[in-house]
Amino acid sequence: MPGPLPAPAPSTPAGTGKAGERSAAAGNAGSGTDEAERTDRTDVHGTDAPAEEGPKTPPSGDGTRLTGRQRLVAGLWPPRFSRAQLIVALLLFVLGLGLAIQVQSTSDNSALRGARQEDLVRILDELDDRTKRLEDEKRRLEDQRTELETSSDQAEEARRQTQEKERQLGILAGTVAAQGPGITLTIGDGAGAVESDMLLDAIQELRAAGAEAIQVNGVRVVADSYFSDGGGSIEVDGKKISAPYRFKVIGKPQDLEPALNIPGGVVQTLEKEQATASVTRSEKIVVDALRPVERPDYARSSSQ
């Protein structure tokens, strides 16, 4: 009776031992090569390659990602300034404020913007002349003070200056005769259209031009003189005068004549009323009409 069959030898799996390890390694290498080739082929054709990712948006404080506008706002606010930038901004502000003030002050001084060139030139000349007269008066007063301070006989010097001042005040008050350079203004009124206010306008223009003594048809004109119309004639301080009206004026002729001949001034106004007006310069004008000295009823000197 046959005995039991021998047990089959255990089969060695493929790749067992060194030969099997080399086979497995070769298989793995082949597998890796095939995988690399598949990857390369996929990248070339663009079918299976993953899409490239763009720049990632940084997350905000709470983990959410910010949009482009939010990142711009976050970069601009709150503002961050250096000390140099603050100093430059302050200087620009001060410069702008100064320019605004200058422009406003320039625009405020536009009262004479519509005046004609001839009027502007005349106004400038009158201002220059008045400034010169004031400077001369200041210089004269300073000389008087110096004389009083340095004079050996101050009492005599003071008496002399008092007499000189009295003569000057007498000229202004019309109680003392005066002479000097000036003009003669003659107004003819054949049509009888000249009124008292026209003569008063001429007096005001002459005074503004620096007239120091004025006489009209034998009547001395002073600070409190008045002109009025009455009975078909003109009265000066209650005394009737008739045409032609002759003004004798002491002052600087170069200032007095242009003041009457300005466009729209006294001469043109009289000519529009069919009256004639002529101005003559002279180196010597005599104003000899006097006013009586009147004692004031209430006013008294305050000097002791």
Question: What pLDDT band is residue 222 in, cutting at 50, 70 and 90?
Answer: very high
Q: Is 204 or 44 the better-scoring residue by pLDDT?
A: 204
Cα distance between residue 185 and residue 167, in whole Å: 26
Containing H/E element for 114? none
Q: Would you place residue 99 in the very low, low, confident or very high pLDDT band (cuts 50, 70, 90)?
A: confident
Q: Would you state the structure tokens that stand for residue 9, as one six-digit string?
A: 């030898």
Taking alpha carbons only, the member of 184, 199, 304 closest to residue 251 is 184
Spell out the residues 6+ positions from residue 279 whose beta carbon is closer than 8 angstroms to its own: 183, 184, 185, 256, 257, 260, 261, 267
pLDDT at 250: 96
Q: What is the pTM of this model?
A: 0.49
CB–CB of 270/194 below 8 Å? yes
pLDDT over 60 at 14, yes or no: no
CA 218/CA 286 separation, integer angstroms: 11
Handedness of CA 296, 302, 176, 128 (dihedral sign): negative
Collapsing DSSP to helix, strand or coil, 50 comes out as coil
Calpha distance 249→251 (Å, rounded): 6
Q: State the Cα angle at 210 between 206 and 216, rounded to 5°.
A: 40
Judged against a pLDDT cut of 70, whether residue 21 lies above it is answered with no
Q: Higher confidence at residue 177 or residue 156? A: 177
Cα distance between residue 120 and residue 291, in whole Å: 38
